Chain A
Amino acid sequence: MSKLSLGGKTSSGKLSSWVQPSFGDFFGGSGSNSLPSTKGLSGESKSKTQSSNAGVGGKKLRKRKGEPQTSKLEPGVFSSRRGSQENQDESWVDVHAPQTQAELAVHKKKVEDVESWLRVHLDLKSANKGGAVLLLTGPSGCGKTATVHVLAKDARCHIQEWTNPTTAEYRKDDAFMDSFDPASRFNSFHSSSQTAAFQEFLLRANKYNRLQMSGEDGAQERKIILVEEFPNQFYRQPGCLHDILRRYVRTGRCPMVFIVSDSLSGDTSSRLLFPKDIQEELSIHNISFNPIAPTSMMKVLSRIATVEASKSARISLPDKPALEQLCSGSSGDIRSAINSLQFSSFTDFSLEKSLWASKKGKSSKSAAKSTSRSKGKGRSAKSTDGLEESPAIGGKDASLFLFRALGKILYCKRESYEAGDVPKLPAHLSEHQRDKLLVDPELVIERSHMSGELFNLYLHQNYMDFFSDVEDVARASEYLSDSDFLTAEWTSRSTMLEYGSSVATRGLIHSNSARAQADQPSSVGFKPLHKPHWLHINKTYRENYLTAQSLFISFCLTPVSLVTELVPYLAMLSNPMRNQAQITFIQDVGHLSLRRFPGRLKLEALGDKDPGLLDLDSDTDEAGTQSTEPGAQTTVPADTTAVPTLPNSQEPGGDLPASQPQPTTAEALLDEKDLLIEEYDSD
């Protein structure tokens, strides 16, 4: 994106951005970026059109806006359009790229975080030697790159960015260039791997300053190394990157910023490239960006719309509901929101018109809907709206992080019915009366990108905290049991999976009678979510079972009697005829600590960005805490006085990621609705 914007600034006339081809036919302006070789031809046409001001030539005339005599010749129809000509060809994302901190749509706190980090590490006189590394994560289009660029500009430092070399660069073996270009000495480097090239880049970026150009002030000598794309090798072997980073942290002189977009699939995520231990080892500071909050996105969109509308009459200012629709449809991706705004604002585009009309109908409908349901609901209602319907233009495939998906099911928001249409249940079923559900469980599961079975496990691990009545729990657990039963037969499992997860989610939601009515105050407040234990438990169980059989095979017993009779008693006997492995196993499995609350289970908190993948192998070394910001992890969460009488084994403990709101008593008192919103747009 930064490259695009650079191109945009230097040559607004000669633009080849992605929007252009689609508008080219209509505006006829695509000729303006014609190749130098056609210059003569265009000159010819100029003379031609000057002589004959036919309507056909009018189109071609418009591209030479610098020439006064042509403008005289232009028909009046076109003259009004001319002012906006250059901007229409250019992507608004680039035109309206934020220039100052005030223009950034990113939350102020995040900007400050990044700024303070940069201030500390750009200061060359500061004592800390070695390169500092900052890692910015967040969904795409949440303003990570824009923030870095704006801040670098403010700090008057220069950004040196790594781009993956393309194959074209490898073919620079021009003999003529060789003899003159001093860079040819490094030509061997072109044929080497991307990894080597990356290393070389770091070395040089670190060692050499930019050439002092005349007219530039000396303060620009500070620089930041920005890495947004990674050589492919690093995805396959993250160890390479770690080695290079280790070296860099020792020897580097300027701060380095990595920008990694979160992805739900989890294979190219920051987790792979920058695992926690590496982050801690190299003291990489991680700042995670959230999606742009709807309010600040609205601000930006309406600003852009106003500016553009004032520039040109061809732009029709979208009305407020339409903007809101764009906002919610983009699910926090400001880049896609601006792009769709641009696309939807050209009113005289025939194809687009029909789209716009259809969208308008839809959006007015949704507006009506949202006003009807937003009685005291405010923003939360809208955000759910956005999930349910995707707009015709710029609809981003909204996906949910596991953390939010679980929250949607467990908090199960409802809204009260209109006075008229409350479905009446017969008296004996009145306890099953529930208000209308605001979430669509099947949609939530679909958006969580997980198999229903695994999602159920997550629900099972966490649902208990959200229930207060044993009878509700009994009903909920019955539904979970049902859903496991549905998928029991492997021949039909693929079909039944969806039904199973549907039964589990809907069952959980229905059986939580504390949340039956919309206006019932939520009694739970914030609860930390955890990763399921079952997979780990089941694995240990099977492993131990097999170990028992292989270790004690000479006793010729059935496995069940082996583990329930022999091993426990062997643990009590002092029988010397055993080998070391057997003794260890007996100690481990035969003895059960008779403490009331087993300490063996480590609760692994679920972060809000965790992909929820199944890595069974890494289950054993789960000691690493999940905190996303090691630095901010100093405060142990205040004890929620929820269950003071019992030494609760599920105590939040210190492993709560800092990205999750810490459960303080103040927050527990908060309304759950406010809390979710706060989670969405605060930090």
Chain B
Amino acid sequence: MSLWVDKYRPTSLAKLDYHKEQANQLRNLVQCGDFPHLLVYGPSGAGKKTRIMCLLRELYGAGVEKLRIEHQSIVAPSKKKIEINTIASNYHLEVNPSDAGNSDRVVIQELIKTVAQSQQIQSSTQREFKVVLLTEVDRLTKDAQHALRRTMEKYMATCRLILCCNSTSKVISPIRSRCLAVRVPLPSTEEVCSVLMGVCKKEGLLLPAELARQIAEKSGRNLRKALLMCEACRVQQYPFSADQNIPETDWEVYLRETANAIINQQSPQRLLEVRARLYELLTHCIPAEIIMKGLVTELLSNCDGHLKPDVAQMAAYYEHRLQLGSKAIYHLEAFVAKFMAIYKKFMEDGLDNFMF
């Protein structure tokens, strides 16, 4: 038994539940036999990967679904050995080059070279190119992106690249201009609802429309998250009730409690506790950027309108620091301390005004 997310993932362009017009366009693109490099972007949980896999199936047939996980080791020119996991079928290769950290340039060059240099054997029955799917392209170093640009031109004859990322802002413009950009927006709340209803129907469950709506809203229209939530609801309680408590992930609850702790008291002791909580979140693999984002969202919803611009500005400042610096805790803590200081000042001022 696999997760609903995987079980009911559409496998062909025709079966996609939303953005059908885009699906048609993609099908047209493939039907003429060839297509340019693609840059698929959009927020997390919008269905980029699903769409790409559908596209590949349209292109090569069911063969792309036979996936195998390969563990490759690449020797860099500096004799450094780089280990990386790839997912491949006979027709395509999926790799997340940012796994290799600073050596991502080598991964891109070497992997694509090996794929591109091997010609397809029966080119009469198959396409004459392979597809390399690169995920998280926005996390590549600038170095690697420039290397990618060269590689794209060089091996155009034998391979096509599909790049997948959340935002194009971190992709250098030469790459953007070499690709056909495809944006996959988030599904609307209604679309999420209908997908949820459809899945539940296939599972033989009855999902109240009200609950589906709540899940869709709570998930932030992230379809993957919505489906996981729905499945968690099912585990928690069945038959569903409309006012059911929708389970959230532990770390989100924890983060909200942390934000509340910051709001409730502003003192060095409290900051010390908050630090311990931040450490706890980090050990549970929650990336520092996400902690920062979550904290800001929670804090902003809790503080006065006068403070909001300041808080947002501070958050932006320390988020930037977070990206540049090496030790996240300094910057997270500085943000919390700063917030505590201005919040405390604001509250005290407010109290004074109230008194006089």
B35 in the interface, Cβ–Cβ < 8 Å?
no
Contacts of B281 in A (CB 8 A): 592
Task: State A417–B228 Cα separation when bound (angstroms).
Answer: 67
Task: State A505–B255 Cα separation when bound (angstroms).
Answer: 31
Task: State A550–B287 Cα separation when bound (angstroms).
Answer: 17
Task: State A533–B266 Cα separation when bound (angstroms).
Answer: 23
Task: State A570–B2 Cα separation when bound (angstroms).
Answer: 11
Cross-chain contact A561 with B232 (CB below 8 angstroms)? no
Task: State A567–B286 Cα separation when bound (angstroms).
Answer: 11
B59 in the interface, Cβ–Cβ < 8 Å?
no
A189-213 CB mask vs B (1 if < 8 Å, else 0) is 0000000000000000000000000
Cross-chain contact B249 with A553 (CB below 8 angstroms)? no
B330 in the interface, Cβ–Cβ < 8 Å?
yes
Cross-chain contact B325 with A488 (CB below 8 angstroms)? yes
Size range of the interface on B? Answer: 35 or more
Residue of chain A at shortest CB distance from B276: A649
User: Which of B44, B280, B321, B329 makes the CB contact (< 8 A) with A561?
Assistant: B44
Contacts of B306 in A (CB 8 A): none
A577 in the interface, Cβ–Cβ < 8 Å?
yes
A179 in the interface, Cβ–Cβ < 8 Å?
no
Residue of chain A at shortest CB distance from B288: A541
User: Which of B231, B276, B277, B337 makes the CB contact (< 8 A) with A470?
Assistant: B337
How many Cβ-Cβ contacts under 8 Å join chain A to chain B?
197
A536-562 CB mask vs B (1 if < 8 Å, else 0) is 011011001100111001111011110
Task: State A470–B265 Cα separation when bound (angstroms).
Answer: 10
Contacts of B224 in A (CB 8 A): 561, 565-566
A561-584 CB mask vs B (1 if < 8 Å, else 0) is 101111111111111110000000
Q: How far is the CB of A567 from chain B (nearest CB, A)?
A: 8
Task: State A646–B225 Cα separation when bound (angstroms).
Answer: 37
A435 in the interface, Cβ–Cβ < 8 Å?
no
Stretch at the interface among A377-385, A595-603, A657-665: A595-603
Known: A477-B333, A563-B285, A568-B249. A601 touches B254 (CB 8 A): no
B145 in the interface, Cβ–Cβ < 8 Å?
no
A183 in the interface, Cβ–Cβ < 8 Å?
no
Cross-chain contact A537 with B284 (CB below 8 angstroms)? no
Contacts of A589 in B (CB 8 A): 284-285
Residue of chain B at shortest CB distance from A563: B285
Cross-chain contact B94 with A569 (CB below 8 angstroms)? no
In the complex, chain B residues 253-288 whose Cβ is within 8 Å of any chain A Cβ: 253-254, 257, 261, 266-273, 275-277, 279-287
In the complex, chain B residues 69-100 whose Cβ is within 8 Å of any chain A Cβ: 69, 85, 87, 94, 96, 99
Contacts of A102 in B (CB 8 A): none
Contacts of B231 in A (CB 8 A): 569, 573
Cross-chain contact B318 with A464 (CB below 8 angstroms)? no
Contacts of A498 in B (CB 8 A): none
Q: How far is the CB of B102 from chain A (nearest CB, A)?
A: 10
Q: How far is the CB of A55 from chain B (nearest CB, A)?
A: 75
Cross-chain contact B276 with A569 (CB below 8 angstroms)? no
Stretch at the interface among B109-117, B153-161, B170-178, B338-346: B338-346
Cross-chain contact B49 with A556 (CB below 8 angstroms)? yes
A59 in the interface, Cβ–Cβ < 8 Å?
no
Name the residue in A483, A556, A574, A601 with the highest tally of chain B Cβ atoms < 10 Å from its Cβ. Answer: A556
In the complex, chain B residues 287-315 whose Cβ is within 8 Å of any chain A Cβ: 287, 290
Known: A541-B283, A594-B257. A553 touches B87 (CB 8 A): yes
Name the residue in A564, A590, A594 with the highest tally of chain B Cβ atoms < 10 Å from its Cβ. Answer: A564
Cross-chain contact B266 with A470 (CB below 8 angstroms)? yes
User: Which of A476, A487, A545 makes the CB contact (< 8 A) with B285?
Assistant: A545
Q: How far is the CB of A558 from chain B (nearest CB, A)?
A: 5
Cross-chain contact B326 with A488 (CB below 8 angstroms)? yes
B355 in the interface, Cβ–Cβ < 8 Å?
no
User: Which of A469, A564, A649 makes the CB contact (< 8 A) with B249?
Assistant: A564
A460 in the interface, Cβ–Cβ < 8 Å?
yes
Name the residue in A474, A487, A567, A570 with the highest tally of chain B Cβ atoms < 10 Å from its Cβ. Answer: A474
In the complex, chain A residues 492-521 whose Cβ is within 8 Å of any chain B Cβ: none
Cross-chain contact B330 with A577 (CB below 8 angstroms)? no
In the complex, chain B residues 1-26 whose Cβ is within 8 Å of any chain A Cβ: 1-3, 6
B45 in the interface, Cβ–Cβ < 8 Å?
yes
B229 in the interface, Cβ–Cβ < 8 Å?
yes
Task: State A592–B251 Cα separation when bound (angstroms).
Answer: 6
Contacts of B287 in A (CB 8 A): 560, 563-564
User: Which of A464, A477, A564 makes the CB contact (< 8 A) with B330?
Assistant: A477
Cross-chain contact B325 with A649 (CB below 8 angstroms)? no
Task: State A571–B276 Cα separation when bound (angstroms).
Answer: 23
Cross-chain contact A566 with B136 (CB below 8 angstroms)? no
Residue of chain B at shortest CB distance from A468: B268
User: Which of A485, A556, A597 makes the CB contact (< 8 A) with B273?
Assistant: A597
Can you give 27 A-B contacts (C-beta < 8 A)? A464-B269, A471-B341, A473-B268, A478-B338, A481-B331, A484-B321, A484-B331, A541-B282, A541-B285, A544-B284, A553-B87, A554-B69, A558-B136, A568-B251, A569-B229, A572-B232, A572-B236, A573-B3, A589-B284, A589-B285, A592-B281, A594-B254, A598-B276, A598-B277, A601-B279, A646-B269, A650-B276
